[in-house]
Amino acid sequence: MASAATTGTFGGNPANIAYLLNHELDSRPNLNGTPIVFLLSDDISEQQFLKSLIGREGWEIETFESARGFLARPRPLVPSCLILALSASDLNGLEVQKQIARERAEVPIIVISGHGDVPTTVQAMKAGAVDFLLNPFSHAVLLGAIRESLERSCLALHRERKISDLRNCYASLSRRERQVMTLVVSGLLNKQVGGELGISEITVKAHRRQVMQKMKANSLPDLVRMALDLGSTRKAIHFA
């Protein structure tokens, strides 16, 4: 079985903190919720077979006949994956996969097809598929691919929950505390921070203590790591 890890990073282009805080802070992933397997297929018999197979494993299954229908569904807050069934007549299948991968990067994709060759498989994997399964394949192979995908999804949701907690902590900071945090994690000393903001060093120290407490940071390196996880930049927070 072919596998490719999917990762999500800021890639050197951090998001603006103000933008991040516009997201609903109470929309938290539920790692204990029943996993959902999404199925995108226009073959009714295929839908019925897979619904029966997957349902026996205790997972929920939702079927869609178009990418538009799937993408219109609210993002799941439980572990999930997508089975994308490519038919022989579906000439745009890989383009559909690319679109879903762009707009639902957090959902692992398993591509299944009744036809395929090495170039098609490579293209599917490059487009973000976790697995490419060629019919006929055993039930065990498909279920194994689903389990692996749900584990990946769980890890991604765990990170999202962690980021959500950081966003809540950051939202509790005052504007001045955010400014101090930005300058501190950029490497400036307290005296230099005071010079930048036009306040005394004693005041900087007081704000810095508040920042450490509210962010639940145990050390400066810990605070720097949090800022990186939030995708913060000096400009983004300084003017937030």
Domain locations in the chain as residue ranges: 29-162, 172-238
Stretches where the chain sits below pLDDT 50 are: 1-26, 88-89, 91, 232-240
- Over the stretch 93-125, which tens digit does the pLDDT of each residue have? 777 888 888 888 889 999 888 766 556 666 666
User: Could you give the 3-state DSSP secondary structure of residue 235?
Assistant: helix
Q: According to DSSP H, which parts of 86-138 are helical?
A: 93-103, 118-126
For domain 172-238, the CATH class is mainly alpha
Cα 65 to Cα 44: distance, rounded to the nearest angstrom: 9
- Identity of the amino acid at 121: T
Please report the pLDDT score of residue 234 as a whole number: 39
Please report the pLDDT score of residue 6 as a whole number: 29
Is 1.10.10.60 the CATH number for 29-162?
no
In DSSP terms, 60 is beta-bridged to 36
- Over the stretch 50-76, which tens digit does the pLDDT of each residue have? 999 999 999 999 999 888 899 999 988
Please report the pLDDT score of residue 106 as a whole number: 85
Strand 80-86, strand 60-64: pairing: unpaired
| Model pTM above 0.75 | no
Cα of first residue to Cα of last residue in the chain, in angstroms, is 47
Count of Cβ atoms closer than 10 Å to residue 231 Cβ: 17
Please report the pLDDT score of residue 188 as a whole number: 95
Cα 237 to Cα 240: distance, rounded to the nearest angstrom: 5
Cα 180 to Cα 198: distance, rounded to the nearest angstrom: 11
